[in-house]
Amino acid sequence: MKPIFFTPGPGQLHPLVKTYTEQAFRENICSISHRSETFRSIYSQTIDALRELMNIPQNFQIFFLGSATEAMERIIQNCVQHNSLHFVNGSFSRRFYDTAVDLKKKASLIEAQYGAGFDFRTVTTDLPVELICITHNETSTGVALPMDEVYSLKKRFPGSLLAVDIVSSAPYIALDYNYVDCAFFSVQKGFGLPAGVGVMIINYSCLEKAQLLQCSNTNIGSYHNFLSLQKQAVNLQTPETPNVLGIYLLGKICEAYLDKGPHIIRFETDEKARLLYDFFIKNKQYQPFVANPKIRSRTVIVADVNGGSIPLIEKLSNHGYLVGAGYGPLKKQHIRIANFPMHTRDDVLKLIETMDI
């Protein structure tokens, strides 16, 4: 039996990836020049599909990078001369903070315990902050921050840019781009694709900031800075030879999601999340790790397992269900279950049956 990957990325491939990859081979996608008309048409098809699927306004640019981790580095380099502010409640938000520290910025952090969120209304800063960094869905702990509270930051700090990591909540999350300057994700989570493409979405305020930094002699990077990316993007191209197959497949999967309907994807995601949380609440062997129901992620569900998670993970794997262990220090205590569009309701019900011990 083929295993089902409930691991929160990389994980279960979208069932159409094989078909689209075969199609790509028939169309010689991997051999064409990235300066050709064929590539430009692939590029624009993927951008158009992404824009429609994720409701990205025309005044936002979409750039292709190598990964989400790369996006973190590019965003810090291009939006921060001195000060960034980071909300850290798990390993991925910490990575964003560490990136700013590595790049020698004055990074401040507001920390919450793992499994908790933040009280955004009481946030104050001593310094003027150029960039606020948020991880919407903390994949290490299963906390999803309430976006209306995140948007209130933009109202209270209108001079700051706001960057949001949506890696493990896209395409489920519906961002309001009125309150966000920059967002990014990679394709091996909710899009069910092989890893190797990062997508960064930025507005003109971010581009202006990068221009300003460059004029003031700040190093904004060379290979992928916002200005070099923008210069090529207007020609429907990338600075380097990109992952053409990855960009092609992303466009196809976005079209498949559009055919299905983003509202149906959201409805099904909510429904499957409800089944999983209800089970963890009812069964005495488990407990949802995130105590506050309002900030429980719908796309990465984390449960505490009585007596430790390792034997359970092995048992599930013997039944063909691969789930994630806890992250970092919580490795042996938690299971983490991805609830992405590729995971069917049937798969989730069978997983729950197998977890019912």
Ligand X SMILES: *Cc1c(COP(=O)(O)O)cnc(C)c1O
Cβ proximity to ligand X, 198 vs 251, nearer residue: 198
Binding region for ligand X (CB under 6 A) out of 79-87, 135-143, 284-292, 302-310: 135-143
CB of 53 to ligand X, least distance (A): 19
116: left (phi over 0), alpha (psi -120 to 50) or beta: beta
Beta strands in 46-151 (DSSP E): 60-65, 83-88, 106-111, 131-135, 137-138, 143-144
Please tell me what DSSP assigns to residue 13.
P
Binding region for ligand X (CB under 6 A) out of 51-59, 161-169, 225-233, 345-353: 161-169
Cβ proximity to ligand X, 145 vs 213, nearer residue: 145
CB of 197 to ligand X, least distance (A): 9
Binding region for ligand X (CB under 6 A) out of 98-106, 119-127, 134-142, 272-280: 134-142
Binding characters for ligand X, 52-81, by CB under 6 A (x = yes): ---------------xxx------------
* Identified binder of ligand X from the candidate list 4, 5, 6, 9, rule CB under 6 A: 9
Cβ proximity to ligand X, 182 vs 213, nearer residue: 182
* Identified binder of ligand X from the candidate list 21, 78, 89, 139, rule CB under 6 A: 139
Residue 167 interacting with ligand X (CB under 6 A): yes
Q: Extract long-range pairs of 50-59: CB within 8 Å, 24+ residues apart.
A: 50/199, 50/250, 50/251, 50/254, 52/254, 52/258, 53/171, 53/254, 53/257, 53/258, 53/262, 54/170, 54/171, 54/174, 54/175, 54/201, 55/174, 55/175, 55/177, 56/177, 56/201, 57/177, 59/203, 59/204
Cβ proximity to ligand X, 9 vs 115, nearer residue: 9
User: Given CA atoms 146, 158, 165, 250 in this order, what sign does their dihedral have?
Assistant: positive
CB of 95 to ligand X, least distance (A): 7
Rounded Cα distance, 191 and 54, in Å? 12
Hey, is 14 helix, strand or coil?
coil
Cβ proximity to ligand X, 188 vs 225, nearer residue: 188
Please tell me what DSSP assigns to residue 225.
-
CB of 156 to ligand X, least distance (A): 24
Using CB under 6 A as the binding criterion, the count of chain residues that bind ligand X stands at 13
Cβ proximity to ligand X, 138 vs 279, nearer residue: 138
Residue 94's nearest CA partner among 129, 74, 69, 58 is 69
* Identified binder of ligand X from the candidate list 21, 45, 135, 297, rule CB under 6 A: 135
Tokens of 346: 């049937």
* Identified binder of ligand X from the candidate list 43, 92, 286, 327, rule CB under 6 A: 92
CB of 196 to ligand X, least distance (A): 9
Rounded Cα distance, 8 and 202, in Å? 25
Binding characters for ligand X, 185-224, by CB under 6 A (x = yes): -x-----------x--------------------------
* Identified binder of ligand X from the candidate list 168, 297, 299, 339, rule CB under 6 A: 168
Strand partners, 184: 165, 200
CB of 167 to ligand X, least distance (A): 4
Residue 130 interacting with ligand X (CB under 6 A): no
Cβ proximity to ligand X, 139 vs 232, nearer residue: 139
| Pairing between β-strand 300-305 and β-strand 106-111 as defined by DSSP bridges | unpaired
CB of 245 to ligand X, least distance (A): 16
> Using an 8 Å Cβ cutoff, are 61 and 270 in contact?
no
Rounded Cα distance, 103 and 80, in Å? 10
> Using an 8 Å Cβ cutoff, are 223 and 240 in contact?
yes
Radius of gyration of the chain (CA): 20
Rounded Cα distance, 208 and 227, in Å? 9
Q: Which residues contribute to the site for ligand X (CB under 6 A)?
A: 9, 67-69, 92, 135, 137, 139, 165, 167-168, 186, 198
